[in-house]
Every structure is written in C-alpha cells, then in structure tokens.
Structure 1
C-alpha cells in the first residue's frame, strides 16, 4: 500500500530543464482564440522544480518560474501548487510565478504543533515572500486559497498589486454547505482514508470528487490523483494535519471581513466557473459588489470549482488583462 503513496518519476534532470525553459524561450503566444502554451508541464517536471523554504513555520514547498514582478498562485483543497501548472506555462514570461503548498496540504512539511488556520497560512505566505525577497505580488487564487487571499489582502494591503479570484469562499458562504460533509469527515478522522481510496480506485475518484469539481472528470488522471492525494495520506502525521486543515474552516475564517474589503482599492477581477454548485454564481456577484476596485466578472460556461486546470488559457488571458490594466 505504501508504494502507492510514492510518486514514481523518471527523467528528473530533463524535467527540470523543461520547467525552466520559460526564462529563455517564450512558450506561450496570443491568438484570436486566446493564449496557448507550446509545452505542457507534467508532474515529473513540477516535482523536479519543487523547492523548500526553511521558515519558522516549517519547510514550505513551492515552485517558482519566470522573472520580474511576482505573481502568487494560491491553490484549493485538497490540491497543491500543481493546480497552477497550466497558468505557469502561459504566464511565466510575464511574471515571476510562485506557487506554494499550504501547510497541511501538498508537500509542505510543518511541525505537529503548527496551527493550520487560514490566518496562519497568511502569516506563512508573508514569511515565504520575505524569504524570496518579494515585497509585492499579484495574487491568483482558488477555493480555500481565495479565502486566504482575502485575509492576506486586508492584513497586508501594501503587498498586493492585483487580485484575481476564481470560485472561492466568501464571508456569507464560508464554509459552504456542500463542503460540510467533508469537514464532518475531517472531525471524525475519516477524510484521509477516503482520500487514500482514490489512489487505488481512480474510477471512483472521478465519479465522486472529479464529477463534483471538473466539467470533464476524466481530467482526474492517475498521475493527478497521486500528485494531490499521496502527500496528505503519506503518514499518520500528515493525515492528522490534513484533517486539521479542514477543521480550521469552522468557524468561518472570513467572519467580519466585508467591511475591510470595502475599504480596499486593489484592482480585482473575478473569473467564475458558471456550473459550480459549491460556490454558486451569487458568490461571484457578492465579490463584485463588495470590492470597490472590481473590474467585473467573467463566467466560464460549464466550469466547476477547479475549472482552472481545464481552462488555463482563460486564467492567463484574464491575468494578463488585469495586470495590464494596472500598468504593470
């Protein structure tokens, strides 16, 4: 069983050079249909590029690609930074793209005593950016990462140039009702075992989790399942932290944030999977009404919670438009 928890990759040196190609070889181009990438980053390349920042919080896993002004990509649960590989392929010529793994998810390694609440994730991100010499970022966020992004904005407003939010928590809908069964499993200590079952039964994973969060569940390949599920179930400690990450979303981490968001002036773009029933379209409209600097909503027809993986062209188009409108 443990062998299923180990990601088996080959060609690491070649993969690393592929992921680093952005610095010297433009890999995206704009067409009338949108932005495309000439290369596709796979799990082997992402793993080869992964680094660990030694912080007071622990060893924080992240992947960095490109140069210039920094963009910070915040993933959802139970995913990790690999969620943004398609965006990296398209945007690393425009930004220094940084995708960390949250504490309790992905490949970050933190002590058992480390709190994993959203506000702790905010402080970890600030420390990570400090360690990388980054003073200001454009944030692109999804799902629970969107909650962290909002909290980061109100705590460190001077560090955020722009904010692109995809389907994510809002103060009136955090945690959303459809996520409560997952949180109950975390409280009962059964969520990790349920997630581990995806590895041995990918068809089940696609018909349950995949159908809930992807327009086309077949995108949830064995490689993707292992990349997301393996680290969070790899040891009793990691399983407990996986549970703790989810349990920390009760009570609502965004309670009372609306008044603070209304005082922000950062340019915000909202890109929303239109068919998501976890974070429905009203959440997008709420964010549009709340942020004074909102530049409107783009709905993605058929898109669900994690449409970013299926539609990286849309993320790239909207990010570049937002960054350009800010003059950077």
Structure 2
C-alpha cells in the first residue's frame, strides 16, 4: 500500500469558555469558517487562549473555554483537535446557552494527572466530574468524531444529565472504531504517529492542508485548517507525544459495544447531522444512528462536507442546535 493510501485510510477519526471574559470581542476574531456566509465572526486563537481556564479534577486540570449563561451546552471535539473546533458555534450559541468546550484528556491543553487513563470511558467520568465542579446538572450535548462516541457513552451512563443530543459525523456501535483508524493506532503503538504524521504537518502548514494532510482528508475547503488552527491543534500533541499516542490507542476497541438497547430507551431528543463527503466513517451510520435513539429527530445531510465540517459551517450547527433546543 502506498503511503498516500495509508494516509487516506489512516487518519480516521484523526481524521475538531470562561465566564470572566475580558479579552477581545467574540466577533473580532478571524473568520475561518471557509463555508457558507456567516452571521457573526469567529473567535481567533489569541482570544480563545486568553479565555481558556483550567478546572482541577481527580483526572487532572481540565482546560475549557466557556461563554454565555443559563442552561448549559457541552461541546465535545474530535481527534486530533481540541475545544477550539467549536469556536464558531460558541460565538453563535452563547446568547442561548452556557456553552462549555473542554479539551479531552490526552488532547489540547488539558493537563492529565500522572497515571491517568485517557480512554473514552475515562473521558465520560472526567466530564461528569467537570460538570459537577462547574455546578452543571444537565447539558445539551453537541459532538463530533471520537467526541460523538464519548457523547453516546455519557448519555448511557448519565441519561438524566442529557437534555438533548446533536451528533455530527462520528462513531456508531456498528462502526467503532472505523477501519480507517487502524493505521493510526498501529503507529501510535510503535510511538511513531506523532513523529511521522503530526510533526511534519505542524512544520509545514501547506502539507497539513494538502490532499495527504489533515486538511485534505478531513476538512471540506482546501484553505482549512488555517495556520492558527494547525498551531492550536497540533503543537500540544507534538509536544506531548506519549499522551497523544495513549489517546489513539484508547480507541482500539468497540467502546460502543452493547449501547444500542440503552440508546433505544433514551428519552432526550436526538438529531444527526452528517457530511456526505466524509470517507472515514461508514455512510450507513447516520441512518443507523437516527434509528437507534428513542426520540430521534432524523438526519440532515450536509452535501460534500467532510469529517470536521462543524468547524467550517458554524451557522448550520447553530441553526440545528437552536431548533433542537426549541429556543
């Protein structure tokens, strides 16, 4: 198999805020959606960094950005991204919810406690404790990629804490992990994934946006991810390869095995948004997911959009979220 083919197969699920805000205005940030016309700006990296806070937990110090007030909405990102993936959505939805975008254990700027695991099950337990420490009883969940698997596990473990669920392209019990992820996991086990993939992309942003890079495989528009997004996503992973590899290795099993029955009993409204240009996850998954939840609100397909499209089309995410939340 040629390296290009391995890259295309392999990124897989690799492919996507603080109350005391005092930095630049949220609409002053760099517009980086690269998609349809937007109704507001997008928070840039400097402002996001200024807004970042850390909450101590038994799992480590959890980095998160928060915006807004009222009922909480929790945004779960994918791999190898972090909460910065949701900057546009937070801009648009903070008038309606207390929007919280954490960095998962092993990714982004979260500081993982020594010896702490970073599997999806660990993420669920961490999120429950994080919400407790933030005095949040229940949330509207919004998730993408591996964050979607965590969202489903959270909903099974804590059904009374979920008011609604908005899933974008992500794992399903019938496609977890997707076959495309296997080369990533294999490289991670050999301690080579960061050095062979992420470090070259961080050093050469054009390569990162090429058909063989993060952008070409998982973003819809060729100018994405932006330079600042590449820095935000990849630098902390390159600087901490051990935890990056641990995250990938933690995806090497069907973590959703057996959840279908519990999801069928769920009573919270669930909506599926699916980019049809995604060749990582199975094209059968959106219909499967729409049929497995007890209160399914169906599927909306986003023509031609690739895995990390929620970053590029925040207006669409906001529109669907507000409808689901009945704002």
TM-score, reference length from structure 1: 0.88
Is 1:221 the counterpart of 2:226? The answer is yes
C-alpha separation between the residues in 2 aligned to 1:298 and 1:16?
36
Structure 2 residue corresponding to 1:248, chosen from 233, 247, 250 = 250
Structure 1 residue corresponding to 2:141, chosen from 139, 142, 147 = 139
Q: Paired residue for 1:129? A: 131
Instruction: Please show how residues 14-163 of structure 1 align to structure 2 within 5 Å.
Output: 16-19=23-26, 36-37=39-40, 39-163=41-165
Q: Paired residue for 2:284? A: 282
Aligned pair in 2 of structure 1 residues 15, 198: CA closer, same or farther (>3 Å)? farther
Aligned pair in 2 of structure 1 residues 35, 20: CA closer, same or farther (>3 Å)? closer
**Quick check: 1:49–1:63 contact (8 Å CA) kept in 2?**
yes
C-alpha separation between the residues in 1 aligned to 2:281 and 2:222?
18
**Secondary structure at the residue paired with 1:197?**
helix
Instruction: Please show how residues 169-188 of structure 1 align to structure 2 within 5 Å.
Output: 169-188=171-190
Is 1:209 the counterpart of 2:214? The answer is yes
Per-residue deviation at 1:103? 0.4
Structure 1 residue corresponding to 2:312, chosen from 310, 313, 317 = 310
Aligned pair in 2 of structure 1 residues 284, 205: CA closer, same or farther (>3 Å)? same
Large movers: runs of 4+ above 3 Å:
none
**Quick check: 1:74–1:140 contact (8 Å CA) kept in 2?**
yes
C-alpha separation between the residues in 2 aligned to 1:20 and 1:176?
37
1:296-316 deviation line (CA, Å, top 9, x unaligned): 101001101000111101000
Greater helix percent: which structure?
1
Aligned pair in 2 of structure 1 residues 76, 118: CA closer, same or farther (>3 Å)? same
Equivalent residues, number: 298
Structure 2: gaps spanning 5 or more residues:
1-19, 29-35
Q: Which sits farther off after the overlay, 209-218 or 142-151? A: 209-218
Q: Which sits farther off after the overlay, 81-90 or 198-207? A: 198-207
**Quick check: 1:75–1:144 contact (8 Å CA) kept in 2?**
yes
**Quick check: 1:57–1:124 contact (8 Å CA) kept in 2?**
yes
